Chains A and B, each alone.
Chain A
């Protein structure tokens, strides 16, 4: 028996994705400590990382970072496969879908704030649909739409501004 070694090729992109995902996971954990007045209303600081990766390295890497963050973040806060995990995943998938479109808009006109607001709305829309279909099978959840939409707009703008600020240095 000879010991066999499996070499995994690690590209620069892989390292980059891992590094960004680690940053996003830290933000997810930090945010989990912030009490929320209403389940589902939280700043979504980890999305700042997604926005930055999207701007610098394109959608594919942003999707990797986001999905890794959802997976590892949920494992760390003990939510893996719990409702919270499915909610994050649904929100993340929908906002990635919207970002795929939004990132094709001309950059001179639409900056990170546009991406952020669009993705925040997609995020909450996906989560509301999942909540309605699965967790709270009652139209009562839609009474809260204005609250969720307002939070999406506010945090979308704030996160977008932070991302734009962090990206500013390389303009």
Chain B
């Protein structure tokens, strides 16, 4: 290790520290994904309602099995109850990130969050 350290000049330490600070400063980017702003509720693939995630609200959507209840609170939304047999969409709990989705397939209802400018809604995943 020592012979390698001898290759470093005083300014190199400075540059490396600056680099480390830049990496550290960028770490929060790894988890942030922008705020979700809108809950898009669909039945049979057509939009039933678009609720802004600003004020608390409850919405009932009628499907073939009965009513699915969507609950919206500031910054998050969930399926509060659903008549489906396995309750997958209810068990998902609160959705907070843009593009996250809860699908109540038996009742033909879905709840998806989208970002502030509706941006990115065209992508399921990214690959290159």
Contacts and interface: CB of A to CB of B under 8 A. Distances in A.
Given A138-B123, A145-B29, A161 B4 contact: yes
The majority secondary structure among interface residues of chain A is helix
A101 to B, nearest CB: 12
Given A109-B9, A138-B123, A146-B27, 8 more contacts: A114-B9, A136-B128, A145-B29, A149-B22, A153-B20, A161-B7, A161-B8, A165-B4
Contacts of A131: 128
Interface stretch (B10-18, B52-60, B65-73, B86-94): B10-18
B26 A117 contact: no
A111 B29 contact: no
A156 B8 CA distance: 13
B114 to A, nearest CB: 13
Contacts of A150: 23
A111 B32 CA distance: 36
Interface residues of B, number: 27
A140 B8 contact: no
Contact of A110 (B15, B19, B34): B15
Centre residue among A39, A111, A152 by max chain B CB count within 10 A: A111
Contact of A140 (B9, B12, B15, B126): B126
A7 interface: no
Interface residues of A, number: 38
Interface of B: 4, 7-12, 14-16, 19-20, 22-23, 26-27, 29-34, 119-120, 123, 126, 128
Interface in A96-126: 105-106, 108-114, 117-118, 121
B19 to A, nearest CB: 4
Interface of A: 39, 83, 105-106, 108-114, 117-118, 121, 131, 135-136, 138-147, 149-150, 152-153, 156-157, 160-161, 164-165, 168
Question: Which 10 interchain pairs have the tightest Cβ spacing?
Answer: A109-B11, A110-B11, A164-B7, A113-B12, A111-B9, A114-B15, A153-B19, A149-B23, A146-B26, A145-B26
Nearest to A111: B9
Given A138-B120, A153-B16, A114 B126 contact: no
B4 A142 contact: no
